[in-house]
Each structure stands twice: as structure tokens, then as C-alpha cells.
Amino acid sequence: MKVVVDLKLCEGNQRCMEAAPEVFDVRDDDKAHLLMQNPPESLREKVKLAVRMCPRQAITIEG
């Protein structure tokens, strides 16, 4: 699975990091950074939760 964050939309709300800390890290620039581009299947549910919780709907899963 590939994860993409639209940085133009992202406003550092941190919800992604709460849902899937293995994958998302919101840094001092108030943007979500990906700790892995292709998270393993075992993290799919967590990433799906992040997609859902992101208030700006900035995260998409490809594949």
C-alpha cells in the first residue's frame, strides 16, 4: 500500500499521527511527514483510520 499526503491541504492537525504514529510524524513545520512511503499490510487499518480522521482529507491510500 502506498500513502500520499497532499501538503497543500495539510495543516498540521496531528490526527494522522494519533491514528498511525508508525507512519505519520507532524513536525515543527506543521506538516505531516511520512515515516514510510509503503507501510506494510499490518498497518492498513491504522492508516485507514488516519485517512478518515484527517480533518482536511489530505491523505490518500493508493493500492
The answer to the question of residue 47 lying near ligand SF4 (CB under 6 A) is no
Q: How many residues bind ligand SF4 (CB under 6 A)?
A: 15
**Residue in the block written with cell 480533518:** 55
What length does the chain have?
63
CA distance 43 to 58: 18
Strands 32-34 and 2-5: unpaired
Q: Which of other proteins, ligand SF4, none is residue 19 near (CB under 5 to 8 Å by kind)? A: other proteins
Q: Which is nearer to ligand SF4, 17 or 38 (CB)?
A: 17
Does 13 bind other proteins (CB under 8 A)? Our answer is yes
